[in-house]
Amino acid sequence: MILSGFTGSPLSAFGAVYGGTGPVTAGQIGGVKPVNKEQTAKPAVDPVPQIIRAVSPSVVGIIGKASGDPVGPDDRYNLTHGSGIIVKADGWIITNAHVMEGLQNAVVVTSDGKSYNITDTYLDEVSDLALIKITAKSLKPAKFAASPAGIQVGEKVIAIGTPISFSLRNSATVGVISGLNRSVDAAYRLIQSDTAINPGNSGGPLISMKGEVLGVNSLKYAAVGVENMGFSIPADTVQYIMNQLLKYGEVRRPSLGVELEESWPVIVGLPTEEPLTVTKVVTAEARKAGIAEGDVLYAIDGHRVTSLVDINEWFKQYKPGAVVKLLMQSDGDIVARSLVLGQGDPLVNAEEAEGDGDDQAEE
Q: How far is CA 315 from CA 153, 186, 323, 346, in A?
A: 26, 15, 12, 9
Give the integer Cα–Cα distance in Å for 62 and 102. Answer: 13
Q: How far is CA 339 from CA 4, 74, 320, 331, in A?
A: 56, 57, 11, 19
Give the integer Cα–Cα distance in Å for 250 and 122. Answer: 7
* E-assigned strand segments in 208-322: 213-221, 230-234, 254-255, 258-261, 276-281, 296-300, 303-304
Q: Which residues contact 346 (CB under 8 A, 6 or more apart)?
A: 126, 187, 253, 255, 308, 311, 312, 315
Which string of DSSP letters, residue by residue, matches 155-204?
A: -EEEEEE--SSGGGTTEEEEEEEEEEEE-SSSSS-EEEE-S---TT-TTP
Give the integer Cα–Cα distance in Å for 249 and 347. Answer: 21
- Amino acid identity of residue 107, one-letter, is V
Can you say whether the dihedral through the CA atoms of 211, 214, 216, 218 is positive or negative?
A: negative
Cα Rg for the chain, rounded, in angstroms?
Answer: 27
Q: How far is CA 278 from CA 217, 256, 261, 319, 342, in A?
A: 33, 11, 6, 22, 17
Q: Which residues contact 266 (CB under 8 A, 6 or more apart)?
A: 272, 274, 306, 307
Q: How many CB atoms lie within 10 A of CB 199?
A: 19
The residues with which 324 forms a beta bridge, in sequence order, are 339
Residues noted as catalytic: 98, 128, 202
Give the integer Cα–Cα distance in Å for 246 and 239. Answer: 10
